[in-house]
Structure 1
Amino acid sequence: MTPHLSRRRFLQLTGGTALGATVLTACGSGSGAAGNQIDFWYAFGTTDIQSYYQQYFIDDYNKTTPAAKVQMSVKQVDTLDRLTQTAIASGNGPDIISTSSPAQALNYVGNGNLLPLDPYIDELGWQQAFLPWALDVGRVGGKLYSLPASYETMAVFYNPRTFSAHGWKPPTSRAEFESICADAAAKGIVPIGAGSAEWKAASEWHVTWVWNTFAGPQALYEALTGKRRWTDPVFVDAIAMLKGWFDKGWFGGSTDRYFTNKFTDMYQKLATGGAAMMVSGSWTFTEIGPYFGADAGNDATWDWAPLPSTNSGVPAGVYPLSVGNAYSINKDGKNPAAAAAFLDFLVTDPSRQLNALAAVGQEPTPIKLAESDFPATTDPRMKQQYLLLNATKNYGYTTWTFWPAKSDTYIYQQMDKVLVGQVTPKDYCAGLDSLFQEELKAGKIPPVPAPMGA
């Protein structure tokens, strides 16, 4: 997705609220033919984000009297990747190639479309600007081909008043998590607000967090790099655990209801005490607000907590990393140095990144941040998550960022069959392993940074 367009927000847009292909400035042809123009194609979730981006990223950059001005053409969210691929193949693509993930950028690397960015690492100070893992997600064959444009994670979201009323505390272990779920279910409260009616891939969120908290980042890294098989009991047992929770009706009230539940209903239940928790991604920050407080006609509040551990030996508080967008430079561009200068402006300034986070909820790039970098208007809950995410060594891996495309699709499509009893956890993992090994052999695995440990 774009840096301000999570998988959930992508759903909202393709459901009927997507912006049209409004062209802010004319799109040049031939990758900045005159060499004094940087062509940049992008997609936005809302008009306020588009306007903010135009003013504070594009216009502000052009005011710095650069060697080449940036011209941005806004495309529809659901067609940006396809339009870019077609244009690049014909030699008329943009100078800056925006992809939905490092995995998507991998396709351009294989076709020889991208310029290695390694000469700019030292020149522009990227090693010092980015978090230790951040450049690694754009490296293929030892060369840097893309920069991550945003990052997010997963967490437990809850209503503090509901927790206080029932004597619950944010869980840090499987036992604590299951205790809350059992108590909530006994009281007629939905333990985990969840549903996939509006986003069929939602099931992979739950696969992601249980694998990260049960198998752990080290085991996931080994499997993602071909050193461990997905048939390993640690992965099978995690899926069996998740299936058991669904069988108890803990997710969405029942497995059947899970497939028909809408996110609006789940947020409302969280606000009214009808649901105990939601396990979701950072995109929740920009979605949850309208259901809480005066605007929603209540005095409810919400908060978040790190993921609990669900297995001994895996520390609590793992943060699965999601890189939602990546920027690269077109190899056929006429002024790569100017394109690199624009990329540097786009992604490395903490003030610019965090002002956008506070103003319109634009997720920041994975650069090093200090508490003093955040504007006073930042939601303190959002600030807390990014400070912790910025500092953690206990990071993990989201399926939609670090699994190859076919394996990722398999994960959520086949998981739904596991939930309804059509496929066993063992067979599910065996099927994933077979498909993954094919993609591994074909070189389709996205770059995977090594874990740092808790």
Structure 2
Amino acid sequence: MLGRWFIRVFLIFVPLSLLSVFFLFIHTTVEKERSSVGTLEEERGPQVELEFWNTWVHNEPWQEIIFERMKSFEKVHPEIKLHMDAIPHDEYKIKVKAAAAGRELPDLLVVWPGAEMRPLVAGRSLSPIDEIVGNYKDKLIPANKLMDYAVGGKQYAIPTVVSFTSIIYYDKALLMNKGYTHFPETYGEMKQLLTLLRNDGKIPIALGNKAKWVLQSCYLSTIGSRYTGDEFLSEAIRGERRFTDPEFVSALRVIEELNKMGAFNENMNSLDNNQQDDLFIEGKSAMVIDGSWALPKISLQFQGQLGLAAFPAVSGGNGSTTSLSGVTGQGIAINADLSPAKKAAALQFIQYINNEITYKKLLQSQMLVPANIPVPRYVDPVFKEMFELTSRGIAPVYDAVLPSDLIDTMNKLLQDMTTRKGFGPEQVAQALQSKMDEIRKGQFDSIKSVNNPNVAKKEEAP
């Protein structure tokens, strides 16, 4: 009887004991995992969130590459969370200016060099990134291509692409049908072609200048260089040359001539630069003048019939006959007001995006890059043609060199020249020079007040 009772107790007690040991093991293991995760999180620190503004709204092939790299970055760095806000280009520039004025810029933002970035630097809205420049300078990227994003000896962004702003994209088959085996080599011959196209009912050149910058950046930057040479802009800023000089007026006259001869679509000031490309892609125009950034989108629609050209030589010009206006672009800058933890995360992001892997992928997508990377062997022949076309010299882009206030005035005046009767090149040139004189006087007065102790004391007085 006692033996049976003992066996029953044994059969009940032992399984319960084993079960208790099992649950104790599970509890201990879970606690260890929690402790391990906790230690890992302590090593990584709390998650950092970064707000990132850019203009990548069209999902173009090169933008998809950047998006892919951003997703990869978040996998490698789970402690950093990106919040991207893609804003249309023209709206973006207005939003950035307003945000900078109220010190409400995002943690990261895409910036353009020159006139677009300098006011942000002057307003102390951007943080220098000198601590990472050594990873690029004369290693992955030549020093002269980093300079576009340097102000006062400090670096504020790393260029992602190289943008040539004035490429003529044309329909080879259409020109062949008109008797042209290649694009005209002189401006006079080009006008003859444009007249022939217009008389046949075809829009010669698709133009979308709604945002006003296209005539300045894609047209005048290269046309101006043909007439004035590349030193004109810096000399005009110093007061050594003037916008009323005959050479610059001649460049303005080209735009007036193109408009008056009906080279553009009538709704040119109602379309943006993406819509102008669509006109060309849809076969409604014979050509379009846009930046190198448009190649991936445009080339998809042409089966070996896309031609590329630079603006042809002009009569009496003092500049190169082959160079194209160009500048590095799509640099990512950092808000000056970030905490040390956020800035460290932002620098990690920039170095992940601007690295050899990204640049190689961009080249494969037909985007020109600032890095020392050879063109892949297997790329679309039209991209090789672009590479060759853009290697014949680089001219300054107006809005990357001139003061932003002057560029705003220039953009408006160029649009006015296409809409206002009796408002021609001479009036535009005089208005530009007056604005330049005003800007230079303001800079002189500012320097004078700083150097004059009496003025300084007066300003400090209550």
The CA deviation at 1:431 is 0.8
Per mean C-alpha deviation after superposition, the further-off stretch among 51-60 and 151-160 is 51-60
Task: State which of 287, 292, 296 in structure 2 corresponds to 1:282.
Answer: 292
1:148 and 1:325 in contact (8 A); partners too: yes
Task: State which of 339, 351, 357 in structure 1 corresponds to 2:346.
Answer: 339
For residue 396 of structure 1, what is the aligned residue in structure 2?
395
In 2: Cα distance, 1:87 partner to 1:412 partner: 22
Task: State which of 152, 162, 165 in structure 2 corresponds to 1:141.
Answer: 152
Q: Where is the helix percentage greater, Structure 1 or Structure 2?
A: 2
Q: Cα–Cα, structure 1 residues 126 and 159, in superposed 2: closer, same or farther, change >3 Å?
A: same
1:59 paired to 2:63 = no
The CA deviation at 1:41 is 0.7
The CA deviation at 1:207 is 2.5
The CA deviation at 1:77 is 0.6
The CA deviation at 1:370 is 0.9
Report SS of the residue matched to 1:288.
Answer: helix
1:353 paired to 2:359 = yes
The TM-score normalised by the length of structure 2 is: 0.70
1:74 paired to 2:78 = no
The CA deviation at 1:73 is 1.0
The 5-angstrom pairing of residues 85-100 of structure 1 reads 94-100=106-112
For residue 41 of structure 1, what is the aligned residue in structure 2?
52
Q: Cα–Cα, structure 1 residues 264 and 173, in superposed 2: closer, same or farther, change >3 Å?
A: same
2:186 and 2:314 in contact (8 A); partners too: yes
For residue 408 of structure 2, what is the aligned residue in structure 1?
409
The CA deviation at 1:101 is 4.8
Report SS of the residue matched to 2:311.
Answer: coil
The TM-score normalised by the length of structure 1 is: 0.71
For residue 4 of structure 1, what is the aligned residue in structure 2?
none
The 5-angstrom pairing of residues 55-454 of structure 1 reads 56-64=68-76, 69-78=79-88, 94-122=106-134, 124-153=135-164, 154-168=166-180, 169-185=182-198, 187-188=199-200, 190=202, 192-196=204-208, 199-204=211-216, 205-224=218-237, 226-252=239-265, 256=266, 258-259=268-269, 272=283, 275-289=285-299, 292=302, 301-311=305-315, 312-333=317-338, 334-335=340-341, 336=343, 339-349=346-356, 351-356=357-362, 358=364, 363=367, 365-372=369-376, 376=378, 378-386=379-387, 388-389=389-390, 391-392=391-392, 394-419=393-418, 420-440=420-440
Report SS of the residue matched to 1:316.
Answer: coil
In 2: Cα distance, 1:117 partner to 1:330 partner: 11
The CA deviation at 1:138 is 1.6
In 2: Cα distance, 1:196 partner to 1:80 partner: 18
2:141 and 2:371 in contact (8 A); partners too: yes
Report SS of the residue matched to 2:361.
Answer: helix
Report SS of the residue matched to 1:104.
Answer: coil
In 1: Cα distance, 2:63 partner to 2:375 partner: 27
Report SS of the residue matched to 1:409.
Answer: helix
2:128 and 2:154 in contact (8 A); partners too: yes
In 2: Cα distance, 1:210 partner to 1:64 partner: 46
Q: Cα–Cα, structure 1 residues 219 and 63, in superposed 2: closer, same or farther, change >3 Å?
A: same
Amino acid at match of 1:217: D
In 2: Cα distance, 1:248 partner to 1:198 partner: 20
The CA deviation at 1:131 is 4.1
The CA deviation at 1:282 is 2.1
1:7-26 CA deviation, whole Å, 9 max, x = no partner?
xxxxxxxxxxxxxxxxxxxx
For residue 447 of structure 1, what is the aligned residue in structure 2?
none
The CA deviation at 1:230 is 1.5
Q: Cα–Cα, structure 1 residues 225 and 36, in superposed 2: closer, same or farther, change >3 Å?
A: farther
For residue 38 of structure 2, what is the aligned residue in structure 1?
none
In 2: Cα distance, 1:387 partner to 1:402 partner: 25
1:193 and 1:275 in contact (8 A); partners too: yes
2:60 and 2:297 in contact (8 A); partners too: no
In 1: Cα distance, 2:267 partner to 2:94 partner: 35
Report SS of the residue matched to 1:321.
Answer: strand
Task: Give me the CA root mean square deviation.
Answer: 3.9
Unaligned runs of 5+ in 1: 1-32, 294-299, 445-454
In 1: Cα distance, 2:443 partner to 2:301 partner: 44
The CA deviation at 1:286 is 4.1
The CA deviation at 1:60 is 2.5
Amino acid at match of 1:56: E
Report SS of the residue matched to 2:207.
Answer: coil
Amino acid at match of 2:350: L
Amino acid at match of 1:415: L
In 1: Cα distance, 2:221 partner to 2:256 partner: 14
2:120 and 2:126 in contact (8 A); partners too: yes
In 2: Cα distance, 1:207 partner to 1:408 partner: 12
The 5-angstrom pairing of residues 6-25 of structure 1 reads none
The number of aligned residues is 390
In 2: Cα distance, 1:87 partner to 1:175 partner: 46
In 2: Cα distance, 1:413 partner to 1:81 partner: 15
Q: Cα–Cα, structure 1 residues 151 and 442, in superposed 2: closer, same or farther, change >3 Å?
A: farther
The CA deviation at 1:236 is 0.8
Unaligned runs of 5+ in 2: 1-43, 445-462
2:51 and 2:85 in contact (8 A); partners too: no
Q: Cα–Cα, structure 1 residues 436 and 344, in superposed 2: closer, same or farther, change >3 Å?
A: farther
In 2: Cα distance, 1:432 partner to 1:440 partner: 12
Percent sequence identity is 17
In 2: Cα distance, 1:431 partner to 1:64 partner: 54
The CA deviation at 1:340 is 3.1
2:233 and 2:402 in contact (8 A); partners too: no
The CA deviation at 1:415 is 1.8
